[in-house]
Amino acid sequence: MSATLCESRTGPLATLATTRPVLTVRLDAVAYNTRVLAARARRLMAVVKADGFGLGGADVARTALAHGARALGVATLTEAVELRTAGIGAPLLSWLDAPGADPSDAVLHGVDVAVPSLGHLEAAVAAGRRTGRAVAVHLYLDCGTARDGCAPELWPALCAAAWRAELTGAVRVVGVMGHLACAASLDPQANADATARFVHGVARARAAGLRPALRHLGATAAVLGLPATRFDLSRVGAGLVGIDPTGRCPVLHAVAQVTAPVVQVRDVGAGVGVGYEHTYRTPAPTRLALLPLGYADGLPVTASGRAQVLVHGQRRPLAGRVSMDQVVVDVGDLPVRTGDVVTVIGTGDDLAPTLTEWAGWAGTLPHELLTGLGRRLVRHVVPAPPSTSPEELA
Ligand SMILES: *Cc1c(COP(=O)(O)O)cnc(C)c1O
């Protein structure tokens, strides 16, 4: 592995870490995760929505493409155009736009669009006419989330309309997609109905005269352990950034680490109330260490009272409530001083709490924590190794 914060004890980064909270983004881990996932999928789409789960959309996209991903997926046309503007040229699909959003600009950038409704189809046809390019569309069937996608009862009409639209030359149906509601489950039964609905939906599309080459249903969990849901393409987001939604496949590497410097220490007696509302009282004489990061940086208030950090190689509890800009650590009798670097979120290489532990303390998902790591954190990006060759992936 290349140099991490912990290993580079001298130099500008080490100095920075003693004065500012730092988010380290390990693109080497993204590369590793992509290789692991690509080896299990027929074709891998790297989902880099929400700025690559908050870690840098273009960085994660480039890394994934260099290590086995064949396509990119995002939620919005704006995200798609941003990736193109950053110079990224791979196949790219956007799936969560309003029917009133004009995809013309994205179409000119060679972006595919998902079509979950007749309104979206009309918008794609209009964009095809306006741009003089057949818009590549993926018909999107709701396979049981009752969330995004076309409701099953409207699917035959959507397929028929898409077939007529193809005849005009304004669109080309290149794919049919669905999404699994039980996205974290490795139990084949949990997703059996959804998979059957998807297979049925593809058959309806074919019966309507469509010839979608790409059938795609599953996401990270599908690639990790649900072979029946893999089809032609798997759309993988969480796994790239080291999140195992199943909690049962420890094959991925964590991508994000957060450290913070101690900016103040004070020695106090027993029974001292700490922070807002005094939700913590020191049980004994102790030292309190102040870290300059809080919920505006993505540390959840709901983890207050449970969360721990790694100080001098030992776990110590946060004392009191997470504030907007700061937290206090009860470091006990550790000889902690200002400028010491504390690991707040670790990568599992040492005793530091992981993203998954933080999510447990906060009653949320690791996904939410990652996407919420704020702009105020200084970012240190560990580069990925050069690209993986197709032979190495096979
Ligand atoms: C976010 C998303 C994905 C990626 O799911 P992961 O579980 O993060 O791999 C795939 N498909 C759709 C439609 C999504 O919205």
Do 88 and 179 share a structural domain?
A: yes
pLDDT of residue 184: 86
pTM equals 0.95
**Which DSSP state fits 141?**
B
Of 241, 276, 309, which marks where a domain is finished? Answer: 241
**201 and 118, same structural domain?**
yes
pLDDT of residue 215: 98
Do 110 and 218 sit in the same domain of this protein? yes
| pLDDT at residue 11, rounded to an integer | 67
The per-residue pLDDT for 394 is: 62
CATH code of the domain containing 302: 2.40.37.10
DSSP state of 228: G
For ligand 1, whether the C-beta of 52 sits within 6 Å is no
Ligand 1 binding pocket includes 183 (Cβ within 6 Å): yes
| Same domain flag for 108 and 216 | yes
Looking at the domain assignment, is residue 8 inside a domain? no
| Any ligand 1 atom below 6 A from CB of 95 | yes
Residues, the chain, total? 394
The reply to whether 10 falls in a domain is no
Residue 238 beta carbon below 6 angstroms from any ligand 1 atom: yes
Atom of ligand 1 nearest to the CA of 49: 1
What is the CATH number for 87? 3.20.20.10
Test site for ligand 1: of 47, 182, 224, most ligand atoms within 8 A of the Cβ: 47
Number of neighbouring beta carbons within 10 Å of residue 324: 11
149 Cβ closer than 6 Å to some ligand 1 atom: no
For residue 237 and ligand 1, the question of a CB distance below 6 A is answered with yes
Is residue 288, in this structure, part of any structural domain at all?
yes
SS3 of 173-203: the string is EEEEECCCCCCCCCCHHHHHHHHHHHHHHHH
pLDDT for the residue numbered 2: 35
Under 8 Å between Cβ of 72 and 46: yes
Atom 11, ligand 1: residue with shortest CA distance: 235
Residues acting as catalytic residues: 49, 276
Token pair, residue 332, equals: 């006990």
- On whether residue 392 sits in a domain, the answer given is no
One domain for residues 73 and 45: yes
Looking at the domain assignment, is residue 5 inside a domain?
no
Please tell me whether residues 38 and 163 are part of one structural domain: yes
Please tell me whether residues 215 and 280 are part of one structural domain.
Answer: no
pLDDT tens across the length of the chain (394 residues): 333 443 344 567 888 999 999 999 999 999 999 999 999 999 999 999 999 999 999 999 999 999 999 999 999 999 999 999 999 999 999 999 999 999 999 999 999 999 999 999 999 999 999 999 999 999 999 999 999 999 999 999 999 999 999 999 999 999 999 999 998 888 889 999 999 999 999 999 999 999 999 999 999 999 999 988 999 999 999 999 999 999 999 999 999 999 999 999 999 999 999 999 999 999 999 999 999 999 999 999 999 999 999 999 999 999 999 999 999 999 999 999 999 999 999 999 999 999 999 999 999 999 999 999 999 999 999 999 998 777 776 6
Tokens of 378: 């200084």
Ligand 1 contact via 60 beta carbon (within 6 Å): no
- Asked if residue 36 and residue 180 are part of one domain, the reply reads yes
- The verdict on residue 223 lying in a domain is yes
- Please choose, from the candidates 312, 325, 384, the residue with its C-alpha nearest in 3D space to the C-alpha of residue 52: 384
Tell whether 229 and 268 lie within a shared domain: no
Binding site residues for substrate, as ranges? 147, 324
- Closest protein CA for atom 4 of ligand 1: 237
* Domains of the chain: total: 2
**The pLDDT of residue 9:** 47
Boundary-marking domain end, from 174, 209, 241: 241
Regarding the beta carbon of 179 and ligand 1, being less than 6 Å apart is answered: yes
Residue 68: inside a domain: yes
**Is the CB–ligand 1 distance for residue 220 below 6 Å?**
yes
Closest CA to 91 of 8, 183, 208, 174: 174
Q: What is the pLDDT of residue 22?
A: 98
Does any domain span residue 277?
Answer: yes
Q: Where in the sequence is the domain holding 341, given as residue range(s)?
A: 256-375
Note the pLDDT of residue 389. Answer: 76
User: How would you class 328 by CB atoms within 10 Å of its CB: exposed for 0-12, middle for 13-18, buried for 19 or more?
Assistant: buried
Nearest one of 226, 199, 221, 223 to 212, comparing CA atoms: 199
Q: How far is the CA of 333 from the centre of ligand 1 (A)?
A: 45
Assess whether 165 and 292 both reside in one domain. no
Distance 326 CA to ligand 1 centre (A): 33
CB 31 within 8 A of CB 386: no
Q: Whose CA is nearest to atom 13 of ligand 1?
A: 179
Distance 77 CA to ligand 1 centre (A): 16
Mutate to test the pocket of ligand 1, among 92, 235, 249, 255 (most ligand atoms within 8 A of CB): 235
Spatial distance between the Cα atoms of 238 and 60, rounded to a whole number of angstroms: 12
Distance 329 CA to ligand 1 centre (A): 36
| Among 211, 241, 271, residue at a domain's last position | 241
For ligand 1, the distance from its centroid to the CA atom of residue 179, given in whole angstroms, is: 8
Closest atom of ligand 1 to 148 CA is 13
pLDDT value of residue 7: 39
Residues 228 and 300 in one domain: no
Q: What is the dihedral of CA 200, 176, 179, 27, to 10 degrees?
A: 150
Dist. CA 370 → ligand 1 center (Å):
15
DSSP assignment of 246-310: TS--TTS---EEEEEE--EEEEE-TT-EESGGG-EE-SSSEEEEEES--GGGT--GGGTTT-EEE
On the 0-12 / 13-18 / 19+ scale of CB atoms within 10 A, 313 is exposed
Contacts of residue 378, defined as CB under 8 A and 6 or more positions apart, other chains included, come to: 16, 20, 21, 22, 23
202 in the same domain as 263: no
